[in-house]
Structure 1
Amino acid sequence: MTVQAGAFNEFDQPVGPEVPAWKPRAQPPRTPLTGRYCRLEPLDVERHARDLYEAYACAEDGRDWTYMSTGPFSDFEAYWDTASRQAVSSDPLHHAIIDLETGRAIGTLALMRIDAANGVIEVGHVAYSPLVKRTRAGTEAQYLLMRRVFDELGYRRYEWKCDALNAPSRRAALRYGFQFEGIFRQAIVYKGRSRDTAWFSIVDGEWPAISRGFEQWLTSENFDRNGRQRAALADLIAAARA
């Protein structure tokens, strides 16, 4: 990985590129985002909690929660308590994923560690039920948040972090166009365990190509009559970058 230098200062030291007329960015708004297959809404326990609990209950076991700070949930009341805390939080700012075909909430994800002064933000708390995994809606949900961060709000850096042992999450980050940056050792203690954290990012200069890859992947023409993709997202992003 190369380190970006813009020029040399009066002491002949390399310094980073200038960012002309930089201003702090706005906080993410609590407004919906609508795509072809899903809508993202700020989490609301009255509207979303029952749908989400039932969607998560479709899983055969609790493995989806191994690397999450919450869950699994023994009953609806336990999930309601967690969702109630998440719904009033502004950072993380949790969103429910609404399936446009059914109108039901089928998963959640959040914008978090919001550093508006420097234009840096993270996507996290990604809790996909079996109803949203490996679907167009699941991929589009990620794209809608990215588009808000880069195109609407003008942030410079978008981060993905996960337990370094969480292989599915690491694969997902690469599929979505994130670049692996390294491992922060013993970064977190959660559920009584030590966590090494894998860091990934997208920066604003990379976003146009990644956006084109998502848009191409999400078109109806990219899927056959059985719903199978014709071109993989990672391949489309790689082609757009080339």
Structure 2
Amino acid sequence: MTVRFNEFQQPIGEDLTEWTEAELPEKTAFLGRFCRLERLDVTKHVEALYEAFKDSPDARHWTYLPYGPFSSCDEYRQFLLTMEGLSDPFHYTVIDLSTNEPVGTIALMRMDVANGVIEIGHLVYSPRMQRTPISTEVMAILSQYVFEELGYRRLEWKCDALNEPSRAAAQRFGFTFEGIFRQLQVTQGRNRDTAWYSLLDCEYSMLKSAYQNWLAPQNFDKSGQQLNKLADLINTL
């Protein structure tokens, strides 16, 4: 990075006088090859989502979230109703195109349009979505929307520092680890140290091709298994 200096010979940041602020998310549907994202609609999605989460043999996928598990569909419905109409976080339901059924939820949140910063969060993936191409496609879809359509400069990923699967996922997608914010929250009656990751617009422009190459039909064999790992494709950039 080229260092600039002001008239006092002090180092200063990159010139952004031509940059204009980002936009708030408004798009309510996206179509990919493996999945479709729809704006969360409790009436339409709640029962199928609850059934998808019941596929898990236990409640471990709720451990690091500030809500759940839910003992009944009605309890889950009441929770989703508090989220449905919010503009921040802006919640989506993930639809598996092979079954046309909801399999998880995700949100864009903490939107700072003046500085071009946004976070991806509330990742609640059922077993029907975990370890499938859908999770990668969701990230490819939303990161393209954030950077190319809405004009953000920085996409954040934050999780409980003890949540190793989430931290591994952030690294798999090419996010940069920035550190641990200690004792940041109280979640489910426990202390939470939060791990921070980020992806910048200049980094996304390179990672986009890796996402596309991993999701391409030729990267999967006849049984649907990947031929090249995403990390390997990113390392070739």
Does the alignment pair 1:177 with 2:149? no
Q: Which residue of structure 2 aligns with residue 147 of structure 1?
A: 144
Letter in 2 for 1:143: A
Letter in 2 for 1:123: I
Does the alignment pair 1:46 with 2:38? no
4+ runs deviating over 3 angstroms: none
d(CA) in 2 for partners of 1:180, 1:231: 24
Does the alignment pair 1:36 with 2:12? no
TM-score for the superposition, normalised by structure 1: 0.95
Q: Which secondary structure does the structure 2 equivalent of 1:98 belong to?
A: strand
Task: Check the 8 A contact 1:5/1:14 in 2, yes or no.
Answer: no
Match of 1:201 among 173, 195, 198: 198
d(CA) in 1 for partners of 2:149, 2:3: 27
Does the alignment pair 1:137 with 2:134? yes
d(CA) in 1 for partners of 2:236, 2:79: 41
Structure 2 gaps, min length 5 = none
Give the CA RMSD over aligned residues.
1.1
Match of 1:119 among 116, 120, 133: 116
Q: Which residue of structure 2 aligns with residue 13 of structure 1?
A: 10
Q: Percent identity?
A: 50
d(CA) in 2 for partners of 1:36, 1:122: 24
Q: Which residue of structure 2 aligns with residue 104 of structure 1?
A: 101
Letter in 2 for 1:186: Q
Does the alignment pair 1:25 with 2:22? yes
Does the alignment pair 1:222 with 2:222? no
Instruction: Give the deviation of 1:89 after TM superposition.
Output: 1.1
Letter in 2 for 1:103: N
Q: Which residue of structure 2 aligns with residue 89 of structure 1?
A: 86
Instruction: Give the deviation of 1:61 after TM superposition.
Output: 0.2
d(CA) in 2 for partners of 1:194, 1:141: 30
Instruction: Give the deviation of 1:106 after TM superposition.
Output: 0.4
d(CA) in 1 for partners of 2:191, 2:50: 28
Task: Check the 8 A contact 2:22/2:116 in 1, yes or no.
Answer: yes
d(CA) in 2 for partners of 1:110, 1:235: 28
Task: Check the 8 A contact 1:5/1:16 in 2, yes or no.
Answer: no
Instruction: Give the deviation of 1:5 after TM superposition.
Output: 6.6
Letter in 2 for 1:160: W
d(CA) in 1 for partners of 2:165, 2:200: 22
Task: Check the 8 A contact 2:21/2:151 in 1, yes or no.
Answer: no
In the alignment of these two chains, the number of paired residues is 237
Task: Check the 8 A contact 1:119/1:154 in 2, yes or no.
Answer: yes
Instruction: Give the deviation of 1:23 after TM superposition.
Output: 1.6
Letter in 1 for 2:103: I
d(CA) in 2 for partners of 1:141, 1:207: 15
Q: Which residue of structure 2 aligns with residue 189 of structure 1?
A: 186
Does the alignment pair 1:236 with 2:233? yes
Q: Which residue of structure 2 aligns with residue 57 of structure 1?
A: 54
Task: Check the 8 A contact 1:24/1:118 in 2, yes or no.
Answer: yes
